[in-house]
Chains A and B, each alone.
Chain A
């Protein structure tokens, strides 16, 4: 069994970076009580269970369309729109890929957020994360130098991973860069 599968790498590199934009679109499409996060989560779950994932030429466009389809499907089930709305949704044209400078700025913002989150970690968790991830020390070495058990290491590292993963997730409280991405999307249309 493989723990990190090719699809996980693909997800990290080609799918997840589009989350912020998907959230913005989801917010706009939303009609009922669904949270935008739920819609995006649904898209991600489908992407991770897609057999033909490696043949998806443009994951961003693909996901924006999928998001729209899921939203329409939910509207249909909620029975709160008539067919004219579907016609409107059909006209909803998807913007093309954004020019690179935007990506770079966003990337920088994210890395800044990440550095801040790393420094905001509880000291004990941050030490374990840095030793394992950055310095590449072996688990035994870390355990013996810190004088703790492997299971304690496990808890601290898990806590660090959890907090850092959350810090990288767009749409969380304190995430201030939504405005910029929203502006970008508006300009593209």
Chain B
């Protein structure tokens, strides 16, 4: 049901907010503002903050660009106005300086996923990042460098051309060219897979270690950096999560369960340890373990029972 076209002059629901914002700004300019009341109003609704910033922009802009030549030159201004101008001038200087010097205002931004959650996002430079379950990616962009930090979990990047891109990890800096990468944070190391482009890092001995699609797997820890080949099956298994799948090939039940548990709030627990070494394989949906549990129950004769907090695997 669309209503487009039958309403030539849309009714603006934010008119009330706009009118209130105008009143707050008027009070502020007349020195009659109750700041606590204003703050409560502004934080009550993002639409209020927008309405106020809009009104302020009008007020500010008016002085920045006089509306007509007929205007008299500005006479002496009261102190409050000087303060306001000063506040904005500081910001303007900050922006100008940022455009020309080494660093822009240097704040980290980040994105997080919860257990079982998947997220795709577009970064400020137009690059894409996808976060696997229980992951956290932080980034910081300046005119000269794009810095990434995978705090936990797994992230894939489609990196655009731009300032040099660096993955920071524990004092190591992995340099990425434009391309596609999958990066998984393990407890003591970073596991990087290069799908397109290249990645390089200097190891502890000062040697440059480089990975590209022909030799795509790069494992970087505090002490070593190793580059290894990967079969197309291994590559497919690594990136299966991006389509919401888990792919096991020549895995053991133990490692498969470990992999699955990354996505689950209700964990799978192997009660009888000898089950862990059974070889398994297959392609499953990462968000729902039902098919996986049915497969191992039917195919391997493993008994699956449920407790409140776990799936229990027994003989």
Contacts and interface: CB of A to CB of B under 8 A. Distances in A.
Contact of B1 (A7, A33, A41): A33
A16 B58 CA distance: 10
Nearest to A56: B124
Interface in A128-165: 132-136, 138-139, 150, 153-155, 157-159, 161-162, 164-165
Contacts of B126: 61, 65, 94
Given A12-B60, A55-B141, A111-B67, A4 B30 contact: no
Interface stretch (B16-24, B196-204, B263-271, B295-303): B16-24
B4 interface: yes
B28 A33 contact: no
B87 A132 contact: no
A92 B95 CA distance: 29
Interface stretch (B71-79, B228-236, B248-256): B71-79
Contacts of A35: 10
Given A3-B35, A173-B9, A9 B78 contact: no
Given A115-B68, A136-B81, A55 B28 contact: no
B46 A45 contact: yes
Interface residues of B, number: 76
A155 B92 CA distance: 32
Given A55-B104, A166-B18, A12 B30 contact: no
Nearest to B9: A173
Given A57-B124, A62-B124, A153-B30, A52 B108 contact: yes
B53 interface: yes
Contact of B57 (A1, A16, A49, A138): A16
Interface string B124-144: 111000000000000011110
Contact of B109 (A52, A58, A154, A166): A52
B77 A57 contact: no
Given A33-B3, A44-B50, A61 B124 contact: yes
A165 B50 contact: no
A155 B30 CA distance: 11
B105 A11 contact: no
A33 B104 contact: no
B105 A54 contact: yes
B33 interface: yes
B57 A11 contact: yes
A62 B121 CA distance: 12
Contacts of B76: 136
Nearest to B89: A9
B92 A165 contact: no
B27 A154 contact: yes
B29 A41 contact: no
B52 interface: yes
A91 interface: no
A134 to B, nearest CB: 7
Contacts of A159: 22
Q: What 8 pairs across the A-B complex have the smallest Cβ distances?
A: A12-B57, A54-B105, A45-B46, A162-B22, A52-B109, A158-B26, A157-B26, A161-B22
Interface of B: 1-4, 9-10, 12, 14, 18-19, 21-23, 25-33, 35-36, 38-39, 46-47, 49-50, 52-63, 65, 67-68, 71-72, 74-78, 81, 84, 87-88, 90-92, 94-95, 104-109, 121-122, 124-126, 140-143
6 contacts: A51-B109, A139-B31, A154-B27, A157-B26, A161-B22, A165-B22
Given A44-B53, A54-B107, 11 more contacts: A9-B88, A9-B91, A9-B92, A11-B57, A14-B95, A33-B1, A51-B109, A56-B124, A134-B71, A162-B22, A169-B54
